[in-house]
Amino acid sequence: MNFFKTRGFIYVVAILIAVGAFYAGDSMRNESAQINPVDLKQLQAGSISKTVGTPLVGGAFELTDHNGKEVTEKDYLGNHLLIYFGYTYCPDVCPTSLQVMIDALEAMGPDAEKVIPMFITIDPERDTPEVLKEYVSQFDSRLIGLTGSKEAIKSVAKAYRVYRAKVEDEGAEGKDMDYLMDHTSITYLMGPDSKFKKHFAHGYEPTKMAERIKSLL
Ligand code: NI
């Protein structure tokens, strides 16, 4: 009797430890999926696309363009895409990156026709198609703005390993719509098959970006 009691106790403890380990592992995986510090470092070091055969950056999406049209990645097949994730309320980083993108296209000459510049918002609450339309028109008529449901944006941001987080604006107490977003500032070059080709870190020189893109077309 005493023996069974003891063995039973050991079984229960073993099962509890196994279940605990499973959940701990699961929550750690979830956390890393949201923050991706390792992925981001690998991406910035350029090792992700080289070490793995299957594309780990990019994928299918269902979004709405700045004209209110529902689009997917299939609508752009056959074109290279230059994609930047950001938000229209961004005070400086996003406008700078988008201008670099447009300047790079200008520097490419006729080859720029093979590339579609794209701005995907990470702030769908404020960036409606109307807001995006006004915003992208300030940069270039070729620039496409994409937004979508919270879920759709979450999904595409995850697919592109984009980190984003709401930051409270201290000067804007009580105003729900007044906030900043902390986010990854990387420009992605996707191939005509919508697969990842190259990324450009923030601060890339437009003429150098143009050369690199031309060499990869
Ligand atoms: Ni920004």
More confident residue, 41 or 132: 132
CA–centroid distance, 122 to ligand 1, in Å, is 9
CA–centroid distance, 6 to ligand 1, in Å, is 60
- Return phi, psi of residue 30, to 5°: -60, -45
CA–centroid distance, 187 to ligand 1, in Å, is 12
CA–centroid distance, 182 to ligand 1, in Å, is 7
Residues 27-41 have a mean pLDDT of 41
- Rounded to the nearest 10°, the torsion over CA 32, 36, 37, 41 is 140
Residues 91-100 have a mean pLDDT of 95
**Separation between Cα atoms, residue 9 and residue 1, nearest integer Å:** 12
Decide if pLDDT at 43 tops 90: no
Please give the CATH topology (third level) of the domain spanning 50-216.
Glutaredoxin (3.40.30)
- Compute and round to an integer the Cα radius of gyration of the chain: 22
Return the number of other C-beta atoms located less than 10 Å from residue 3's C-beta. Answer: 7
* All structural domains of the chain with their residue ranges: 2-35, 50-216
- Span 180-196, pLDDT tens digits: 999 999 999 999 999 99
CA–centroid distance, 2 to ligand 1, in Å, is 66
High-pLDDT (> 70) share of the chain, %: 71
CA–centroid distance, 83 to ligand 1, in Å, is 13
Instruction: Tell me which of 99-108, 120-129, 166-175, 193-202 is least confident.
Output: 166-175
Cβ pair 217, 80 in contact under 8 A: yes
- Span 44-71, pLDDT tens digits: 544 444 444 555 899 999 999 999 999 9
**Separation between Cα atoms, residue 131 and residue 154, nearest integer Å:** 19
Cβ pair 79, 192 in contact under 8 A: yes
Residues 122-133 have a mean pLDDT of 97
Contacts of 125 (CB under 8 A, 6+ apart): 150, 177
CA–centroid distance, 185 to ligand 1, in Å, is 7
Banded model confidence at residue 178, pLDDT cuts 50, 70, 90: confident
Decide if pLDDT at 27 tops 70: no
For residue 29, give both structure tokens.
């995986």
More confident residue, 171 or 121: 121
pLDDT at 213: 98
CA–centroid distance, 180 to ligand 1, in Å, is 9
Banded model confidence at residue 29, pLDDT cuts 50, 70, 90: very low
High-pLDDT (> 90) share of the chain, %: 67
pLDDT at 8: 58
Return the number of other C-beta atoms located less than 10 Å from residue 38's C-beta. Answer: 9
Residue 106, CA distances (Å) to 92, 109, 115 in order: 21, 6, 11
Return the number of other C-beta atoms located less than 10 Å from residue 131's C-beta. Answer: 18
CA–centroid distance, 183 to ligand 1, in Å, is 6
**Separation between Cα atoms, residue 92 and residue 165, nearest integer Å:** 17
